[in-house]
């Protein structure tokens, strides 16, 4: 415990923690990966899945079932590509695609949620279809989008800047550090 009015301090990340204590605090993926290596827990998957496996390991219970892999490695597109190039099953948002879309759409192109979904689910469609999809979704994409729970920093910064419109980046990051160092409520995972 620290001396600042009884506030809890973030514990050291170690095998001595319980699963519920692990869940009470913010940890980076890099920190969780180190603990997983120490405990012999598989490190693959996203941060949420890794945290779930670590909580199970710390509590001595069976880990949650791994989700079935729906995407195979599959064939990935290689340059050169053009509008008639067909998107293969399992295609990722690669640098080859980014370069093509920036060349065709312009420097404002980026893989937003709509384009990531189109590429992931667009097997059999062409890159020309993807460009048409980009243009058709710009009005929707310009609206405020939900930020996934795995992007906790981004969600915090959006909310902080909404509450402090004249705040600086330095102030926002200091507020983030203070936020992440506080324990989460029992409902937080």
Mean pLDDT by 10 residues, the chain (189 residues): 60 93 91 93 87 93 70 76 94 95 94 91 95 92 75 88 95 93 68
Largest CA distance in the chain: 65
pLDDT at 175: 95
Q: Where do the H-state alpha helices sit in 68-168?
A: 95-105, 113-121, 127-136, 138-142, 152-163
pLDDT digits (tens, 9 = 90+) for 84-116: 999 999 999 999 999 999 999 999 999 988 899
Report in angstroms the alpha-carbon separations of 147 from 84, 103, 152.
33, 28, 8
Quickly count: other Cβ atoms within 10 Å of residue 12's Cβ: 7
**Helix/strand/coil for 104:** helix
- What is this structure's pTM? 0.59
**Helix/strand/coil for 126:** strand
pLDDT at 6: 54
Quickly count: other Cβ atoms within 10 Å of residue 99's Cβ: 14
pLDDT at 70: 53
Contact in structure between 29 and 23 (CB atoms under 8 Å): no
pLDDT at 188: 45
Record the tokens describing residue 108, joined without a space.
Answer: 């404002």
């Amino acid at each position: 415990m620290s001396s600042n009015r009884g506030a809890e301090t973030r514990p050291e990340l170690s095998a001595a923690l319980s699963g519920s204590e692990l869940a009470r605090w913010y940890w980076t993926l890099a920190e969780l990966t180190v603990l997983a290596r120490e405990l012999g827990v598989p490190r693959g998957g996203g941060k949420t899945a890794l945290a779930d496996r670590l909580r199970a390991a710390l509590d001595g219970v069976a880990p949650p079932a791994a989700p079935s892999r729906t995407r195979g490695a599959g064939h990935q597109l290689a340059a050169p590509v053009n509008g008639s190039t067909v998107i293969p099953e399992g295609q990722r948002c690669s640098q080859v695609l980014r370069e093509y879309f920036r060349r065709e759409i312009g420097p404002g192109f980026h893989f937003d949620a709509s384009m990531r979904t189109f590429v992931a689910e667009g097997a059999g469609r062409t890159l020309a279809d993807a460009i048409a999809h980009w243009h058709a979704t710009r009005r929707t994409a310009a609206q405020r989008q939900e930020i996934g729970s795995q992007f906790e920093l981004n969600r915090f910064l959006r909310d902080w800047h909404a509450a402090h419109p004249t705040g600086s980046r330095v102030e926002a990051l200091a507020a983030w550090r203070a936020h992440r160092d506080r324990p989460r409520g029992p409902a937080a995972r």
